[in-house]
Amino acid sequence: MSRNRNNGRRAARAQAFQVLYSLSFADISGEEDVRRAFRLFPAPPAPDGSPDDAPQAEEGFAWELVYGVWLKNADLDELISRFSRNWRVDRLGRVERTLLRLALYEMLYRQDVPAKVAINEALELTRQFGEDNAVSFVNGVLDAAAKAIEDGTLETGDQRRA
């Protein structure tokens, strides 16, 4: 994978996180509300650093993450509950809950994203947006999920569809 693709995906993840986080404050009644929120969110800067003032289109990696996490929200929350010992999902901070949903979605449903990459990117976003003590919590939950995927006790997207 090229360095530009990595940087593009990192920016797309940050954008997806921010859109998903903003949705946690909104009364979302359906797919059109998700699309509208995505379209209204500022696009990441162009590769040369200049702002992109074009309206957001529902396409690309960021949109796939936003839409996928939104569709699988209940399943992802169930997994967060499973792997976050002694923490109810509704008691987690919105930032941490959103980051966990995003990383678990990538680990389970994106065959093009290795679990290690999803975990690393989630930890970077946690350092950027989360509380200081959240990194170890997010790492623990995602590491437990990765081990469950590796040992076959947690099915990935293809296995879940079968």
Mean pLDDT along residues 67-81:
95
Q: Kindly report the CATH number that applies to the domain delimited by 3-161.
A: 1.10.940.10
DSSP code string of 87-120: --GGGS-HHHHHHHHHHHHHHHH-TTS-HHHHHH
Binning pLDDT at 50, 70 and 90, where does residue 1 land? very low
pTM assigned to the model: 0.86
Spell out the long-range contacts of 7-10 with Cβ–Cβ below 8 A and sequence spacing 24 or more.
Answer: 8/47, 8/61, 9/61, 9/121, 10/121, 10/124
- Of the candidates 104, 112, 108, 128, the one whose C-alpha atom is nearest the C-alpha of residue 15 is 128
> Any idea where the domains of the chain sit in the sequence?
3-161
Query: What are the φ and ψ backbone dihedral angles of 49, each rounded to 5 degrees?
Result: 95, -10
| pLDDT exceeds cutoff 60 at 53 | no
Distances (CA, A) of 96 to 11, 49, 86, 105, 125: 18, 28, 15, 14, 10
